[in-house]
Amino acid sequence: MTKNINNKYRETKSFSSKVKKLFISTVHHKYFNYVRDIIILAIVLIGVMAWQSKDMLSVDGNTIVKQRNLVTLDGKVSPLLSDTKPNLIYFFAPWCTICDFSIDNLSYLNSEKVNVVVVALDYKSIEEVSEFVQKNSVSAPIFLGDESMKEEFLIRGYPSYYMLNENNEVVSRSYGYSTAVGLKLREMFGS
């Protein structure tokens, strides 16, 4: 009788350890699948971003943006770029829905580390730009660009971003929505 109880205990213990191993392997397999899926999604997103920005200005270190004066939304003429720190140039159109979602992310950048430049393009009127700026509570200076600037920067869609180093060399480019985290990474690493 004691033998039967011991055998049943061993069988139960053996069965529970098998279930435990199966559960652990299933959980590990599940997390492996999550990690694999995240990696695949990241690769796809990087591929899409690379394809979207392929026709933008080159980031090979040979493209230098020249300083220029532009008219701001409040009618003043000001230099576009800072001479003392990196610049992030954000091109938008007031009718752009993605711009509505992304422009607020610019506020997460540290203005002591990077000069944020916001340039309006493809607008019908200054009032249209002003309404967009007010609706989105944009605090960065707004410059009014034109068709020649759009062509010079090879802007094909909105929003478009260029990160310039202290020498005004294009070090990074992006097209479409950019998260606050993505912008902070550009600020930290200059790319």
CB-CB contact of 168 with 65 (8 Å):
yes
Task: List all residues 6 or more positions away from 88 whose beta carbon is below 8 Å from its beta carbon.
Answer: 106, 109, 114, 115, 116, 117, 161, 162, 163, 164, 183, 186, 187
Q: Does the predicted model carry a pTM greater than 0.85?
A: no
In single-letter form, the type of residue at position 97 comes to: T
User: Does the CA dihedral 6-12-17-18 come out positive or negative?
Assistant: positive
Query: What is residue 130's predicted lDDT score, i.e. its pLDDT?
Result: 96
Q: Would you kindly state where each structural domain of the chain is located, as residue ranges? A: 1-52, 69-189
Give the tens place of pLDDT for each residue, 79-125.
999 988 999 999 999 999 999 999 999 998 888 889 999 999 999 99
**Mean pLDDT score of the chain:** 82
Give the tens place of pLDDT for each residue, 29-41.
677 777 878 888 8
Query: What is residue 126's predicted lDDT score, i.e. its pLDDT?
Result: 95
Residue 154 burial class via C-beta count within 10 angstroms: exposed 0-12, middle 13-18, buried 19 and up: middle
Query: Hey, how many other C-beta atoms are within 10 angstroms of the C-beta on 119?
Result: 22
User: Does the CA dihedral 160-166-170-171 come out positive or negative?
Assistant: negative
- Confidence label for 9 from pLDDT (cuts 50, 70 and 90): very low
- Confidence label for 54 from pLDDT (cuts 50, 70 and 90): low
Closest C-alpha among 117, 116, 5, 36 to residue 72: 117
Which CATH number does the domain 69-189 belong to among 3.30.1330.10, 3.40.50.300, 3.40.30.10, 1.20.1250.20?
Answer: 3.40.30.10
Cβ-defined contacts of 15-24 (< 8 Å, 24+): none
The answer, yes or no, to whether residue 25 has pLDDT greater than 90, is no
Give the tens place of pLDDT for each residue, 63-80.
888 899 999 999 999 999
Mean pLDDT, rounded, for 19-33: 63
